[in-house]
Structure 1
Amino acid sequence: MLTTRLAALPREARDTLFLLGVIALIVLPQVGTLPWWCTALAVGVLLWRGTLAVQARPLPNRWWRAALLAVTLVATFATYRTLLGRDAGVTLVIILLALKTLELRARRDAFVIFFLGFFAMLTNFFSSQSLLTAVAMLLALMGLLTALVNAHMPVGRPPLMQAARTAGWMALLGAPIMLALFMLFPRMAPLWGTPNDEMTGRSGLSNTMRVGNIARLALDDGIAARIRFDGDRPPPQRELYFRGPVLSDFDGREWTAPQPWERGFFSANLRVQGEPVRYEVTLEPSNRPWLLAMDAPQKAPEIPGLRVMSTPDLQWVANRAIGDLVRYRAESYPQFQSGPTTRTAALQPYVALPAGSNPRTVALAAQMKADPTLAGAGTPAYVNAALERLRTGGFTYTLEPGVYGDETADEFWFDRKTGFCEHIASAFVVLMRALDIPARIVTGYQGGELNGVDGYWVLRQADAHAWAEVWQAGTGWTRVDPTASVSPGRVGAFQRLAPQPGFFANAIGTMSPTLSQNLRAAWEAVNNRWNQWVLNYTQSRQLDLLKSLGFDAPSLQDLATVLLWILVLASLGGAGWTLWERSQHDPWLRLLNRARTRLHKAGLAVPDAAPPRQMAALATMRFGASARPLHDWLLALEAQRYARTPGAGLRALRAEFRSLPWPR
């Protein structure tokens, strides 16, 4: 029924509905990033325009459009506090694209919508460069090309499928040039370099930690990074600690990471042992400046376009936020020590606690100091005593610890005894500081899971973790993960907390416990290939391609030279194609046009639509008997048109044409 109604619509209404559908496909991937009012307004305008097209009603006057534009400007400024910048600009482009459909009257208006649609389509890649987004935009591109071709078919009611075939052929012809430009056009890494308006992080880690943040993050199964270890034997899961921000300032409720200059520019004094672990990291965009690295690398990762430095607490930080997918190699030593080996004034901030905060935890520390079995035993004894309390004191590791008050350490140790890793690490570090032991919180990711399809270890947002580091005389900073005492499976076998599965996931899991995991692993492997071969195709990989083509020391100049030669060859190929295509046109008509041109030069004006018999009569009337050979030749040409094999005698007629005595 719906198909019949659409087929019965006038061409203008049908074409308008098709274009509105393409615009909806362009906007759809950005619904999650656009303000709610922008999505609602765009959908409302598109539905309004579609209704007007189906009912053949007139379009709204300019005052309606001006009012909607004013509302858009006010709402955009209220949302972003500016009309400039990436996010505000994308919002305006989407609304302007929708509003432009309200004045879609002439072909010129359609062309404006087409090219505005092409631009809006590209803005989808500002927020996501995933494979799904690319597929959706490929469909949108084919839709826009189909609409553009259809707009150049003004006569009749050509089917959209005919325009789609032409558009597909155009895209297919342009694909080799597109591929050559992608492979060889010199670029500055990373590929998708776009300015970020603000640090609206998606990483899940932050340079601040208020109790409860990472617990909420455990619900997110999004991918933070992919790791590929060299060799066949990756490190055990219990050693997979990927360091992020290190938090040492505490105000009683919130932990923050100080700026490097606030601690002074002292050396990390990293000391390593054993063999290093070599690996490659593919880091997802986080809009944060830090890089993930397994504890602990000696050398900074080398990333084209970024300058990487290490802080005194072994965190690797880039000179700008990571707004694009980046890939880098690193070399880490799981067995390491860092920091000073003797107590200095630089360690004093790591024992600081707000005055009067968590009094029961401070009292617990005083009891531990007064315990004769611990007195004088040193830092390891106090650490073991705290861990033993966590193991035997009825503490539990949970996703829903409830809302904590201001005295978070007191509530954890004496009241709730439940928490996620941030609650446990925070309470442990507060207790260590109350014991006058320098301690700090390290956030990052721990564990991960192996994708059996492509062999990559996947770090998810749900793998976000918080652990502690304590300082010991003669040793320096030492990792202590108090969560392992409460829930050993979180660090060893890595039993991740997870919410209840949804209806469909639960149904698939009921039919086959491993089907859901296998499907996800296969899809993530496909996405990983997209990331490695498309999104992470950087300048260095371009130069590696030239090396495989025989260049000893390729440079950007070599890239430009190869690309230029390809463009020249493509141009010559296009010219050859054009000549061949012209040769495929009707040779009989070309020969008739040559005769008409010669008669024009002789002074006889012949109508463009005149057949050979009429041309022969006109030539005889103008030139008399001298036109007899031409007269006979034209009649023979006309007879050849209707012969049983029309092209058989054209070669002879073409040769005779060159020897005709033309009248003057």
Structure 2
Amino acid sequence: MLSTPRRAPHAAPEGGRALGAGPSRRQGRVEARLASLPRETRDTLFLLAVVGWVVALQVAHIPWWCSTLTAGVLVWRGTLALRGLPLPGWPWRLGLLGLTLAATWATHRTLLGQEAGVTLIVVLLSLKTLEMRARRDAFVVFFLAFFTLLTHFFYSQSLLTAAGILIALLGLLTALVNAHMPVGRPPLAQAARIAAGMAAMGAPIMLVLFLLFPRFSPLWGVPADDRGRSGLSSTLRVGQIAELVLDDSIALRLRFEDRPPPQGQLYFRGPVLSAFDGVEWRPARAEFPTRQVLPGELSVSGDPVRYEVTMEPHRRPWLFLLEAAAQAPELPDVRVRMTSELQWLTDRPMGSLVRFSATSHPTFRHGPLALTPALREHVALPPGYNPRTLALAQQLRREHGSGPEATPVLVAAVLDRLRTGGYLYTLTPGVYGQHTADEFWFDRRQGFCEHIASSFVILMRALDIPARIVTGYQGGEMNSVDGYWTVRQRDAHAWAEVWQAGQGWVRVDPTAAVAPARVGSLQRLSAPEGAIAGTLRNLSPDIAAQLRAVWEAMNNRWNQWVLNYTQGQQLDLLKRLGFQSPSWADLAYVLIGVVVLVSLLGAAWTLWERQQHDPWLRLLQRARARLQASGLDSSEHTPPRELALRVQQHWGASQAAQRVAQWLLQLEAQRYARPGTADTPTLATLQSEFRHLAWPRKDPR
């Protein structure tokens, strides 16, 4: 099986059969060609197709040369199988291995780690097919493919990924079953049915292990790396978030316990940027040590908003909570803390899906109420940048005054300029130069939220008003199927905070002055759609929206029930089973008990199945065994009538031989006589007579 196939002759078409024309003729030729292939060739091609599917799932995460090399090797191996040519020798394989190692080092600058390891395992899987001469070589390919399947979860654990992996798993099981089937040409459909049955029988065991097997965090989770996927980083350059808005993937989902706040109040706080070097915004610099916020400097009022967050992995130690959360959310095995800028951080990057409950107060006040030296960093500007903006600030001070008491008036004047000055909110503002604020205020007069927020904060600082940029997400949309609010990467946003005497830090969203619908419910930016989704939306927008809502609701259920099944939920399951204070020992006892119970049920089922085998065949087998012990051999296919004839020929007309022969004839009649035939004994009668028969003795010769 799976050895190098010999060239098979082409199957001649049957005489007089019309193949049709066009596609029908080509289809008939393909079917005839496949039917004429030897089993080794057919099985090899099927396994190569399954391996190709396994590798195709990784195309988005491996270098382009890895995909090209793997595809070339698989096509090469398939061509050799079809033409019956010998496999390449070790120099070819060694050369391809050296090329793989060199390309991996050039791409990742290492041969270790997640990215380099996945690249190597994918190429090695394809190269191993070039050594597939015997069944043991095929087994190595099987297990390499199973291992490669696991690496898909490094990048995604979504429902779509799981579906693709399930298809690959069933394909590999089919190939594995087919490799153990006897010689001949068993159809692949038969092996597929057996593989599906095995998977179905193993599903309950996998479910029990999923529910009860201890989850040892963080070993259970997927290792995190340093790649930021949320699009929000600890720095901000003009144009960065404009690119992120094209991403329609989900950042987090929320479920509110009560009525949610208006969409215009949904601000999910992320990194706070206070230092500006003229090009890039960063967090507070070390030379301006910000005073730690005292508990009394964050005061909340009004009714709280309680909600549950399911946050997608973003490889950053940030939690996105509604402004403002005074209490720390509870995360399993993760420590959280709040910075002086009201940003919630964790002790490690969020490399896996996480769900937690939080409480926020839309009405809040934070920061010092009086001017302090710690606020100096929030009015600092680099010299030599945005001279026209600095001149605009001097003009505004002459018109509206200066000092802390004039801050509300100056803020209102700048916002009025944004509303009435012909400024536009656009996704394509073009490339900005060195003086980004000058270009926005006087030249381009258009930009995305980061352009507007950055220019606004620069102008505020030029007015000697402490100000900073806050990044995060704003808005969201409710899924009508499951009632969850969905916040996407395109909802990434940047707004400003200005300090006012007696009030502390006050949120000001200058984008709302330019485009009020951006923070409302009337206008949301949309990511570019694919050809199929775009066509469906053009034909029926309502159907497209409903299908999308259903699919995202299914993904949400997958996240809630499968990916977010944590240690705490395991212990909650034990509580529902009656344990008052469940522990890991209780979990182990329950798991052992379930394993023992399943083993007993399996043994009982085996015993029952044995009892359900044809009792007539078992009785005939016992008769053959007794005759063989007396010296009369027979095969498993010898019928009772033939056995009776052999008994009479072997032992003659002895009384014991005649009784045994008569009993065998009655046994045949009990099986094959017409229903209702008189004098047909029952099976129970024959079983009783069998125990009292005097069997002929073995010939002493």
Q: How would you bin the TM-score normalised by the shorter chain?
A: over 0.9
How far does residue 635 in structure 1 lie from its aligned partner after superposition?
Answer: 3.4
CA distance in 1 between counterparts of 2:453 and 2:584 reads 50
**1:527-561 CA distance string (max 9 Å, x none):** 11111111111122222222333333333222222
Q: Do structure 1's residue 108 and structure 2's residue 132 form an aligned pair?
A: no
CA distance in 2 between counterparts of 1:255 and 1:605 reads 97
| Aligned residues with identical type, % of pairs | 60
CA distance in 2 between counterparts of 1:649 and 1:261 reads 101
- Answer yes or no: is the 8 Å Cα contact 2:291–2:374 preserved in 1: no
* Equivalent of 2:335 in 307, 330, 345: 307
**1:602-655 CA distance string (max 9 Å, x none):** 9x6968769689999999999x99x96874565356435633526965544544
* Equivalent of 1:277 in 278, 283, 305: 305
Structure 1 match to 2:21: none
* Equivalent of 2:377 in 342, 349, 362: 349
CA distance in 1 between counterparts of 2:481 and 2:643 reads 74
Query: How do residues 251-266 of structure 1 correspond to structure 2 at under 5 angstroms?
Result: 251-258=277-284, 263=289, 266=292
CA distance in 1 between counterparts of 2:232 and 2:89 reads 50
Q: Do structure 1's residue 384 and structure 2's residue 412 form an aligned pair?
A: yes
CA distance in 2 between counterparts of 1:403 and 1:547 reads 59
Q: Do structure 1's residue 58 and structure 2's residue 83 form an aligned pair?
A: no
CA distance in 2 between counterparts of 1:68 and 1:125 reads 27
- Answer yes or no: is the 8 Å Cα contact 2:87–2:130 preserved in 1: yes
User: Secondary structure at the residue paired with 2:439?
Assistant: helix
**Where does structure 1 lack aligned partners over 5 or more consecutive residues?**
none
Structure 2 match to 1:322: 350
Query: How do residues 564-575 of structure 1 correspond to structure 2 at under 5 angstroms?
Result: 564-575=592-603
Structure 2 match to 1:207: 234
Structure 1 match to 2:499: 471
Do the aligned partners of residues 203 and 628 (structure 1) sit closer, same or farther apart at CA in structure 2, a change above 3 Å counting?
Answer: farther
How far does residue 5 in structure 1 lie from its aligned partner after superposition?
Answer: 2.3
**1:20-61 CA distance string (max 9 Å, x none):** 111122122221111111111111111111111222221111
* Equivalent of 1:221 in 222, 245, 248: 248
- Answer yes or no: is the 8 Å Cα contact 1:640–1:649 preserved in 2: no
Structure 1 match to 2:60: 32
Do the aligned partners of residues 234 and 162 (structure 1) sit closer, same or farther apart at CA in structure 2, a change above 3 Å counting?
Answer: same
Do the aligned partners of residues 433 and 39 (structure 1) sit closer, same or farther apart at CA in structure 2, a change above 3 Å counting?
Answer: same
Query: How do residues 454-493 of structure 1 correspond to structure 2 at under 5 angstroms?
Result: 454-493=482-521
Structure 1 match to 2:10: none
User: Secondary structure at the residue paired with 2:60?
Assistant: coil
**What amino acid does structure 2 have at the position aligned with 1:49?**
R
CA distance in 2 between counterparts of 1:630 and 1:243 reads 97
Q: Do structure 1's residue 639 and structure 2's residue 673 form an aligned pair?
A: no
User: Secondary structure at the residue paired with 1:140?
Assistant: helix
**What amino acid does structure 2 have at the position aligned with 1:34?**
I
Structure 1 match to 2:323: 295
- Answer yes or no: is the 8 Å Cα contact 2:308–2:355 preserved in 1: yes
Structure 2 match to 1:5: 33
Structure 2 match to 1:161: 189
CA distance in 1 between counterparts of 2:308 and 2:407 reads 36
653-662 vs 393-402, greater mean Cα deviation: 653-662
Do the aligned partners of residues 502 and 158 (structure 1) sit closer, same or farther apart at CA in structure 2, a change above 3 Å counting?
Answer: closer
CA distance in 2 between counterparts of 1:441 and 1:640 reads 97
How far does residue 124 in structure 1 lie from its aligned partner after superposition?
Answer: 1.2
CA distance in 2 between counterparts of 1:161 and 1:275 reads 62
Query: How do residues 72-111 of structure 1 correspond to structure 2 at under 5 angstroms?
Result: 72-111=100-139
Q: Number of residue pairs matched?
A: 659
CA distance in 2 between counterparts of 1:295 and 1:77 reads 45
- Answer yes or no: is the 8 Å Cα contact 2:44–2:78 preserved in 1: yes
CA distance in 2 between counterparts of 1:61 and 1:143 reads 29
User: Secondary structure at the residue paired with 1:643?
Assistant: helix
**Where does structure 2 lack aligned partners over 5 or more consecutive residues?**
1-26, 674-680
CA distance in 2 between counterparts of 1:610 and 1:8 reads 33
How far does residue 566 in structure 1 lie from its aligned partner after superposition?
Answer: 1.5
Q: Do structure 1's residue 248 and structure 2's residue 274 form an aligned pair?
A: yes
User: Secondary structure at the residue paired with 1:429?
Assistant: helix
559-568 vs 129-138, greater mean Cα deviation: 559-568
Q: Do structure 1's residue 130 and structure 2's residue 158 form an aligned pair?
A: yes
- Answer yes or no: is the 8 Å Cα contact 2:490–2:527 preserved in 1: no
CA distance in 1 between counterparts of 2:660 and 2:289 reads 98
Structure 2 match to 1:508: 536
CA distance in 1 between counterparts of 2:543 and 2:645 reads 82
Larger relative contact order (Cα-Cα within 8 Å, sequence gap ≥ 6): 1
User: Secondary structure at the residue paired with 2:341?
Assistant: coil
How far does residue 304 in structure 1 lie from its aligned partner after superposition?
Answer: 0.6
**What amino acid does structure 1 have at the position aligned with 2:504?**
G
CA distance in 2 between counterparts of 1:102 and 1:362 reads 69
**1:239-276 CA distance string (max 9 Å, x none):** 00000111111111111124899735612521111111
CA distance in 2 between counterparts of 1:31 and 1:187 reads 30
* Equivalent of 1:521 in 521, 531, 549: 549
User: Secondary structure at the residue paired with 2:300?
Assistant: strand
CA distance in 2 between counterparts of 1:71 and 1:77 reads 10
- Answer yes or no: is the 8 Å Cα contact 2:641–2:665 preserved in 1: no
**1:77-127 CA distance string (max 9 Å, x none):** 222222122222121111111111111111111111111111111211111
* Equivalent of 1:267 in 293, 304, 316: 293
- Answer yes or no: is the 8 Å Cα contact 1:191–1:536 preserved in 2: no
251-260 vs 515-524, greater mean Cα deviation: 251-260
User: Secondary structure at the residue paired with 1:378?
Assistant: helix
Do the aligned partners of residues 338 and 637 (structure 1) sit closer, same or farther apart at CA in structure 2, a change above 3 Å counting?
Answer: farther
**What amino acid does structure 2 have at the position aligned with 1:520?**
R
**What amino acid does structure 2 have at the position aligned with 1:253?**
V
CA distance in 2 between counterparts of 1:560 and 1:372 reads 72
How far does residue 287 in structure 1 lie from its aligned partner after superposition?
Answer: 0.9
* Equivalent of 2:424 in 365, 389, 396: 396
- Answer yes or no: is the 8 Å Cα contact 1:338–1:476 preserved in 2: yes
Structure 1 match to 2:364: 336
User: Secondary structure at the residue paired with 2:671?
Assistant: coil
CA distance in 2 between counterparts of 1:258 and 1:372 reads 30
- Answer yes or no: is the 8 Å Cα contact 2:475–2:491 preserved in 1: yes
Do the aligned partners of residues 382 and 640 (structure 1) sit closer, same or farther apart at CA in structure 2, a change above 3 Å counting?
Answer: farther
Do the aligned partners of residues 405 and 169 (structure 1) sit closer, same or farther apart at CA in structure 2, a change above 3 Å counting?
Answer: same
CA distance in 2 between counterparts of 1:475 and 1:34 reads 52
Structure 1 match to 2:569: 541
- Answer yes or no: is the 8 Å Cα contact 2:153–2:222 preserved in 1: no
User: Secondary structure at the residue paired with 2:309?
Assistant: strand
How far does residue 512 in structure 1 lie from its aligned partner after superposition?
Answer: 2.2
**What amino acid does structure 2 have at the position aligned with 1:226?**
R
579-588 vs 386-395, greater mean Cα deviation: 579-588
How far does residue 380 in structure 1 lie from its aligned partner after superposition?
Answer: 1.1
User: Secondary structure at the residue paired with 2:307?
Assistant: strand
**What amino acid does structure 2 have at the position aligned with 1:136?**
G
* Equivalent of 1:434 in 462, 475, 478: 462
Structure 1 match to 2:149: 121
User: Secondary structure at the residue paired with 2:541?
Assistant: coil
- Answer yes or no: is the 8 Å Cα contact 1:369–1:375 preserved in 2: no
546-555 vs 338-347, greater mean Cα deviation: 546-555
How far does residue 588 in structure 1 lie from its aligned partner after superposition?
Answer: 5.2
CA distance in 2 between counterparts of 1:261 and 1:607 reads 98
